[in-house]
């Protein structure tokens, strides 16, 4: 008898655990992105450039820049430019035009596979060849070699908003209007954070999200190629908000539409508020997709010691 009671008890526990597990899976929002705050990272290959070279034009060397796309936006090779600076080109037997190259291949994004595993992108190497210090120095002299990459990049984020036939209603429904929502951002140096929805009227809701710069580089307007000759391109981001419904307007966006346009990111973050006008006879949740497009610049530098070669 005791064994039978124990068996019934055990089966009941297992059934309860199974039901609980199914409920958690069905009710949870899953992050569709890998996330992270990196885009394209930049580094030098080992010994390219070497730590030490010699003067006099008898010691040729190369500089190899390694690019790795650790974010979730693919970069076409024509949308990335790598520039070597910190040295006078003619002193190293180069023309200034030779210090700027596009990568030989597209920079594939890091991805999630169908099982949720991370598929890392392949690194791309950019080779600058035949540097050679032509002059003769009076003594050993260090030179800074700086590699900069400017590339077009993007961030995609999504969240959900609650729409009710009466958005001011306090009675419990299938979803809640006045609350902070989960928001998920793709891996990129710009992130969307702090998504919050509020009721404005019976047929109107508002939501506010924050654009945050969490990378280590500099932001420029898309298509500017990170032009530093003027400040008008600095910190400018194209923002596009899509709720899937008409009647959406977002404040502070310029040179676009009611729900898209440019912002200037003073400091490292900026809130954006959007208002959704809607008339419905039912309660439901719907997706909001936010896209950011921008040029982004990052850099890495090293030191090369040019030694005086004794004759």
Can you give the three-state secondary structure of 139-184, one letter per residue?
CCEEEEEEEEEEEEEEEEEEEEEEECCCCCCCCCCCCCCCEEECEE
Distances (CA, A) of 199 to 19, 162, 223, 254, 281: 34, 10, 38, 25, 17
Is the separation of the CB atoms in 131 and 61 below 8 Å? Answer: yes
**What CATH number was assigned to the domain covering residues 154-296?**
2.60.40
| Virtual torsion, Cα 96, 98, 104, 106, nearest 10 deg | 0
Q: 3-class SS at 46? A: coil
Is the separation of the CB atoms in 120 and 110 below 8 Å? Answer: yes
Is the separation of the CB atoms in 288 and 207 below 8 Å? Answer: yes
Q: What pLDDT is attached to residue 31?
A: 81
Is pLDDT of 10 > 80? Answer: no
Is the separation of the CB atoms in 296 and 126 below 8 Å? Answer: no
pLDDT in tens, 218-261: 999 999 999 999 999 999 999 999 999 999 999 999 999 999 99
Sign, CA dihedral 84-212-175-21, equals positive
Beta bridge partners of 147: 84, 300
Q: What pLDDT is attached to residue 16?
A: 44
Give the residue range(s) of CATH 2.60.40.10 domains in the chain.
40-152+298-307
**What CATH number was assigned to the domain covering residues 40-152+298-307?**
2.60.40.10
Is pLDDT of 128 > 90? Answer: yes
Of all helices (H) and strands (E), which one includes residue 241? Answer: strand 236-242
| More confident position, 114 or 311 | 114
Helices (H) and strands (E) in the chain, counts: 1, 20
Q: What pLDDT is attached to residue 100?
A: 97
Nearest to 105 by CA among 40, 36, 37: 40
Is pLDDT of 30 > 80? Answer: no
The pLDDT of 302-309, averaged and rounded, is: 94
Q: What pLDDT is attached to residue 25?
A: 27
Is pLDDT of 304 > 50? Answer: yes
Quote the pTM value.
0.86
The pLDDT of 67-79, averaged and rounded, is: 97
Q: What pLDDT is attached to residue 311?
A: 63
Is the separation of the CB atoms in 204 and 167 below 8 Å? Answer: yes
Is pLDDT of 285 > 50? Answer: yes
Is pLDDT of 153 > 70? Answer: yes
Q: 3-class SS at 26? A: helix
- Tell me the pLDDT band of 279, cut-offs 50, 70 and 90: confident
**β 111-112/118-119 pair status:** antiparallel
């Amino acid at each position: 008898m005791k064994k039978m009671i124990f068996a019934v008890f055990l089966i009941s526990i297992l059934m309860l655990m199974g039901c609980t597990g199914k409920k958690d899976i069905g009710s949870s929002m899953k992050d569709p992105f890998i996330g992270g705050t990196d885009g394209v990272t930049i580094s030098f290959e080992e010994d390219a450039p070497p730590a030490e070279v010699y003067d006099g034009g008898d010691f040729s060397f190369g500089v190899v820049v390694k690019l790795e796309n650790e974010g979730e936006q693919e970069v076409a090779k024509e949308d990335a430019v790598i520039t070597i600076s910190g040295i006078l080109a003619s002193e190293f037997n180069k023309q200034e035009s030779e210090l700027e190259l596009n990568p030989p291949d597209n920079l594939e994004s890091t991805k999630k596979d169908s099982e949720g595993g991370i598929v890392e992108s392949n690194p791309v190497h950019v080779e600058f060849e035949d540097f050679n210090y032509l002059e003769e120095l009076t003594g050993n002299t260090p030179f800074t070699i700086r590699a900069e990459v400017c590339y077009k990049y993007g961030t995609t984020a999504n969240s959900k908003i609650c729409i009710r036939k009466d958005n001011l209603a306090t009675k419990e429904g299938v979803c809640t209007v006045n609350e902070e929502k989960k928001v998920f951002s793709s891996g990129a140096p710009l992130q969307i954070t702090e998504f919050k929805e509020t009721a404005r009227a019976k047929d109107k809701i508002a939501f506010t999200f924050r654009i945050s710069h969490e990378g280590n580089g500099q932001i420029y307007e898309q298509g500017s190629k990170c032009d530093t000759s003027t400040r008008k391109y600095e910190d400018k981001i194209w923002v596009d908000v899509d709720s899937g419904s008409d009647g959406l307007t977002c404040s502070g966006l310029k040179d676009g539409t009611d729900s898209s346009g440019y912002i200037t990111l003073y400091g490292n973050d900026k809130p954006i508020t959007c208002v959704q006008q809607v008339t419905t006879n039912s309660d439901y949740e719907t997706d909001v997709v936010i896209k950011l497009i921008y040029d982004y610049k990052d850099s890495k530098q090293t030191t090369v010691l040019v030694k005086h070669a004794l004759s």
